[in-house]
Structure 1
């Protein structure tokens, strides 16, 4: 709705409201999801802005009975975000809610709200994922820049499988939506990431600007110009120190490689702990060589034998069942694979 309004030349919701001879707050409340618009409102907007019935079609596609289930303290920010033309965010502990996949969000909610039933959790997941719709559009979506601390990339929220899919989503989104930029601040930056925690900057129509941050159970939104300028300078310095968008994608890909061998049926996906007793093939003569390392002792704990490249000990690890590993070793001893 907001992007259509701007393309039609109405700089604010109030301007469109006046053109429709409605109260100045009418359009704003719809755009911020504070109330459900009647269908004839969409029809009048289509006629006024000559959109060929697009808004009526969009109205018909919305499940208006599924109202967003945001906490009371979050609703004010959600309203601001729903109107924002530009959002710049720095995330230090979790992937931005605007970039989360449902499984990632679900894992967070299940841990944070262990007493909630599945229905309530799913409402919360739907509310968070629903906020993404206006950013994930083919063109003219609000500008979204998200800077993620390296810790966000490495924390395996929901387990290896969920995190693998979440990292892939972070790689896919900027390719599909040019209005979205993702950057990473690596641990190597040290104090250059700043002493502050995560925060969000929003630019709304008519030049309105807000800064937002959260504590454990409440949100803090400020619009004081001096405070906003301070946060903007901090964010600009942060982006200058962060990896470029291209290098950030490479970094995310490198972390994702550690998870590519995880499958739903593998015990490594359920109860993985880094093995401590790696054994190097005797052919390596103790210097790594062109060989592999394995930790067969881990099979007694995790039910899987980890294997890695002796030349790249920080690289990905492959997991094999004990039976498969035993068959492989027996085949080598029997000379079934030949030598190079």
Structure 2
């Protein structure tokens, strides 16, 4: 790997890519193209490679992983941790390191990241995620891991098929789902999905789907405003309680 990449791409990540122990992300290929001035060749090659030819998901998650390969749209609400489809490699590694070690960690990370390329590709399915503020506040790994994860969110959130919003912890009146959940829209079916530590729950009752869909739509409308920030600040100022100002004595 060219030494010019070192100042921009962290040495540890470069070494892992060179050693074949980490799959390079799209942003890595793009940075290499820019620094080496290869005119997008590396990025095009990156898109042609099947980086995850064989992965093994936990038995209870296999069904959900298969749905990801067919979904035309996903809408999610996530608490406590960043959802798997939006996790950066370092964040996923740090997360799995809390419950596993050695080769098992690497296998789990590969399986998780294998779900992402379809949604990060040009023309990928719609993915809308509302992140509870707790998912950004809960520290995973170390400050560097969290910084890279936040940068990853900012990067993938610019894709035309991905929308990321944050539900602030201190905003009164937000109606949130009871826990993390995903609305999965397949070509011929719609499912509500939630999970615990070792179990996935699926529900295709139309009434349940409509109820959670409405909850997510209202939450999206209330969690983030499209108004210009200056107008937003004025509204917040008008709605805030007023306190008498202490005037200087003559």
The aligned counterpart of 2:193 is 212
Give me the whole-angstrom Cα distance separating, in 2, the residues matched to 1:193 and 1:186.
12
The aligned counterpart of 1:41 is none
Task: Indicate the RMSD between aligned Cα atoms, in angstroms.
Answer: 2.4
Is 1:179 the counterpart of 2:161 in the alignment?
Answer: yes
Q: Which of residues 240, 245, 253 is equivalent to 2:221?
A: 240
Q: 1:246 to 1:121 in 2, by over 3 A?
A: farther
Give me the whole-angstrom Cα distance separating, in 2, the residues matched to 1:58 and 1:103.
19
Q: SS in structure 1 opposite 2:93?
A: helix
Q: Is the 8 A contact 1:202 1:211 kept in 2?
A: yes
The aligned counterpart of 1:121 is 105
Q: Which of residues 89, 96, 104 is equivalent to 2:91?
A: 104
Q: Is the 8 A contact 1:91 1:198 kept in 2?
A: yes
Q: Is the 8 A contact 2:71 2:186 kept in 1?
A: yes
The aligned counterpart of 2:70 is 83
- 1:143-158 correspondence to structure 2 within 5 Å: 143-158=126-141
Q: Is the 8 A contact 1:212 1:220 kept in 2?
A: yes
Deviation at 1:166, TM superposition (A): 0.3
Is 1:223 the counterpart of 2:204 in the alignment?
Answer: yes
Deviation at 1:171, TM superposition (A): 0.8
Once the two structures are superposed, residues 201-226 of structure 1 have per-residue CA deviations (whole angstroms, 9 ceiling, x without a partner) of 011113x1011001221010111111
Give me the whole-angstrom Cα distance separating, in 1, the residues matched to 2:71 and 2:192.
12
Q: How many residues align?
A: 185
Consecutive unaligned residues in structure 1, runs of 5 or more: 1-56, 249-340
Once the two structures are superposed, residues 152-178 of structure 1 have per-residue CA deviations (whole angstroms, 9 ceiling, x without a partner) of 112221111100010011111122x11
Give me the whole-angstrom Cα distance separating, in 1, the residues matched to 2:60 and 2:227.
36
Q: Which of residues 157, 178, 183 is equivalent to 1:196?
A: 178
Q: 1:92 to 1:193 in 2, by over 3 A?
A: farther
The aligned counterpart of 2:240 is none
Q: SS in structure 1 opposite 2:98?
A: helix
Q: 1:181 to 1:247 in 2, by over 3 A?
A: farther
Q: 1:247 to 1:209 in 2, by over 3 A?
A: farther
Give me the whole-angstrom Cα distance separating, in 1, the residues matched to 2:218 and 2:79.
16
Is 1:136 the counterpart of 2:88 in the alignment?
Answer: no
- 1:4-83 correspondence to structure 2 within 5 Å: 61-62=49-50, 66-83=53-70
- Name which one, 1 or 2, has greater alpha-carbon Rg: 1
Give me the whole-angstrom Cα distance separating, in 1, the residues matched to 2:227 and 2:162.
13
Q: Is the 8 A contact 1:74 1:218 kept in 2?
A: yes
Deviation at 1:91, TM superposition (A): 0.5
Once the two structures are superposed, residues 18-72 of structure 1 have per-residue CA deviations (whole angstroms, 9 ceiling, x without a partner) of xxxxxxxxxxxxxxxxxxxxxxxxxxxxxxxxxxxxxxx99983267x4222100
Give me the whole-angstrom Cα distance separating, in 2, the residues matched to 1:89 and 1:246.
23
Deviation at 1:195, TM superposition (A): 5.4
Deviation at 1:241, TM superposition (A): 1.2
Give me the whole-angstrom Cα distance separating, in 1, the residues matched to 2:164 and 2:226.
6
TM-score by length of 1: 0.51
Q: Compare relative contact order (CA 8 Å, sep 6+) and give the higher one, 1 or 2.
A: 2
Q: 1:246 to 1:158 in 2, by over 3 A?
A: farther
Q: SS in structure 1 opposite 2:214?
A: helix
Give me the whole-angstrom Cα distance separating, in 2, the residues matched to 1:202 and 1:68.
22
Deviation at 1:194, TM superposition (A): 2.4
Q: SS in structure 1 opposite 2:80?
A: coil
Is 1:93 the counterpart of 2:80 in the alignment?
Answer: yes
